[in-house]
Amino acid sequence: MININIPRKNKTITTEAGDKLLKILIDNGEFVEGPCGGRGSCGRCKIKHISGYLPLITEDEKRFLSEEEINNGIRLACLISPTSDIQIDIIDQEKNHKVLTGGFIPEFNINPSIWKKVISIDKPTLGISTTYEDLFTNILGLEELDLNVLKNLKMQSGQFTVVYDGDKLMGLEYGNTTNEIYGVAVDIGTTTVVASLININTGEEIDSEAEINAQKNFGQDVLTRITYVVENREQGTLELQKAIVNSLNKMLNRICERQNLSKDRIYEMSIAANSTMIHILLGVESISLGKSPYAQMFSKAKNIMAREIGLDSMSSFARISTLPSVSSYIGADIVAGAFVAGLHKTDKRVLFIDIGTNGEIVLSDRGKLVSCSCAAGPALEGMNISSGMRASDGAIEEMGIGENEITLQVIGNTKPIGLCGSGILAAVREMLACGLVNERGNIVKPDSLESDDFRQKYLIVENKKRSIKINKDIRITQGDIRQVQLAKSAILSGFVALVNYVGLELTDLDEVIVAGQFGAHLPVESLVGTGILPKDVEKKIRYIGNSSKTGAYLSLISLDSRKEMNNLSKQIDYMELSVSEGYERLFVESSRFKI
């Protein structure tokens, strides 16, 4: 055994001689950059040698080090194997330096699937029957070049950059382009698509774009889009696929233009999304996802050529990788979220919930995972509400109902024109708090209140129908409250059923993690105040942002994370709510607003 001592960190690693230093450090929890995966081709895993014996510096290392660095004892950790005790220092590299903007990111090693190396090629000469292909395959240790690679070559000599996806050659580029390796992390939501350009060498998020999913023209939610495919069997899938692919192409083109970046330097798009979105993106029939037994055509992670689905806003040999899913209703977005939330390796009891049109819940009982999905409907996103609207300028997103007046918080600080999801939730919360609505969800009758009660001024009765006046244009109807109640009931009953299913009580939960772009806009007060989440977990709620995109990001720049997500997807059990015992009773109970 030998000792690797890091004085500055007051740490000593005891290990067997023989392994590469990079592996030793990473295995022992040190963060050393190594985007090439220890292949000696990126030159980023620099460490400082302080004392003790190390083999002499090689030409391979010198290629990546300046004279000053060599004089200062800088070495490449992936190219040296210590054979006796040494002292070293780790070159400070901020972990997850300027990575994704927003959202929680767990710790990870940068070891992306995409990497590059430089080779030199001479032209064939007369009399030697070597083909141009042979020159490359001899250097690269391959049987042959793919036709796609070969047909993009012109016969010339000089430097070439070889682009790899794992062990597989993706393509060849003229000159040395090793400094430019970009990828894209994408979350395709049913409503919104988000894409971030990532520097694969550093993990840095360079730029991002968000856009309404163009498939909305074919249907607002997953089921109506599947219905479109059922009714248009010939072309439906293709049309929906084209809509999302066009969106992605446009978003990437805008980013490239803004960043003055050639699309040829973007090599992979990593995508998380729900199962229907992924089936459609890849052009696979989605009809079975919409009817019993709700079987998926596939659940595994897929890796294909981007051009196969018409994505032409990246390199001609760029690839698309989609994350794995669990079932029709626990998609790759939820696998990503469960991974980002660390559900697979927690020693606690953690419940993960993604609130949207569907509420997906994954419960980790100290690493044992089970999931369910509940149809919340679109009310929580401001849809099917009489004055509902999307979260854009003019939407009321928060409010307070006081004795004298109702105060409103409006997106864009403009004149209020409607309520978005968080606004309608805030309204219901306030109305419950002041007794304008009772725990059965009924608006109080004016004649049950004193005539000088402050609530009288908010109550309206027209044609025997009661509603509540927010301002002179905007009202909340009894029907609106029923919509919220249905959503609340669906989510809360799923939440409770899942906790019961694994034999736990609500109070056993150590943490409730709320994910999703939409969830991030729902404050604890609204979630608990409307009874969407039970009061018992009020102090245990944590938000992690768009964990679907974060999962896509991690899969893009960390093969370790990608593998862990593949394993994780197989570990999540699925509980079918509709067939779980006593569910109907639970649903009815959950419809009560507990005040």
Point out which residues bind a copy of itself (CB under 8 A): 123-134, 144-145, 147-148, 150-151, 153-155, 282-285, 287-288, 292-300, 302, 304, 308, 326-327, 574, 576, 579
Least distance to a copy of itself from the beta carbon of 295, Å? Answer: 3
Residues 418 and 382: beta-carbon distance below 8 Å? yes
Count CB atoms within 10 A of the CB of residue 388.
21
Nearest residue to 78 via CA among 43, 130, 54: 43
Least distance to a copy of itself from the beta carbon of 314, Å? Answer: 17
Least distance to a copy of itself from the beta carbon of 577, Å? Answer: 12
Residues 423 and 407: beta-carbon distance below 8 Å? no
Least distance to a copy of itself from the beta carbon of 202, Å? Answer: 31
The tokens of 313 are what? 């806003």
Cβ distance to a copy of itself smaller for residue 133 or 211: 133
Cβ distance to a copy of itself smaller for residue 84 or 148: 148
The tokens of 383 are what? 């849809």
The tokens of 367 are what? 């690493």
What is the rounded CA–CA span in Å between residue 266 and residue 200? 9
Cβ distance to a copy of itself smaller for residue 31 or 132: 132
Least distance to a copy of itself from the beta carbon of 165, Å? Answer: 16
Least distance to a copy of itself from the beta carbon of 117, Å? Answer: 22
Asked whether the CA dihedral 273, 274, 279, 280 is positive or negative, the reply is negative
Least distance to a copy of itself from the beta carbon of 520, Å? Answer: 30
What is the rounded CA–CA span in Å between residue 549 and residue 294? 25
Cβ distance to a copy of itself smaller for residue 85 or 134: 134
CA dihedral 84, 87, 93, 94 (to 10 degrees): 110
Cβ distance to a copy of itself smaller for residue 32 or 289: 289
Cβ distance to a copy of itself smaller for residue 104 or 294: 294
List the helix and strand counts (H, then E) for the chain.
15, 26
Least distance to a copy of itself from the beta carbon of 150, Å? Answer: 6
Cβ distance to a copy of itself smaller for residue 290 or 394: 290
Strand ranges in 2-60 using DSSP code E only, listed in sequence order? 2-6, 11-15, 46-52
Least distance to a copy of itself from the beta carbon of 125, Å? Answer: 5
Q: Describe the strand order of the beta sheet including 572-574 as a list of residue ranges.
A: 541-545, 511-515, 349-355, 358-365, 368-375, 572-574
Least distance to a copy of itself from the beta carbon of 305, Å? Answer: 9
Residues 225 and 241: beta-carbon distance below 8 Å? no
- Location of structure tokens 């991002």: 208
The tokens of 590 are what? 């959950």
Cβ distance to a copy of itself smaller for residue 292 or 448: 292
Cβ distance to a copy of itself smaller for residue 152 or 346: 152
Least distance to a copy of itself from the beta carbon of 575, Å? Answer: 10
Identify any residues that bridge with 207 across adjacent strands, giving them in sequence order. 197
Please provide residue 40's backbone torsions phi and psi, each rounded to the nearest 5 degrees: 75, 25
Cβ distance to a copy of itself smaller for residue 96 or 580: 580
- Angle formed at CA 506 by CA 502 and CA 509, multiple of 5 degrees: 80
Least distance to a copy of itself from the beta carbon of 578, Å? Answer: 10
Q: Residue 595, SS3?
A: coil
Residue 263's alpha-carbon distances to 39, 42, 249, 315, in angstroms, are: 26, 22, 10, 6
Cβ distance to a copy of itself smaller for residue 104 or 574: 574
DSSP-derived secondary structure for 134-199: HHHHHHHT-S---HHHHTT--S--EEEEEEEETTEEEEEEES--TT--EEEEEEE-SSEEEEEEEE
Cβ distance to a copy of itself smaller for residue 135 or 443: 135
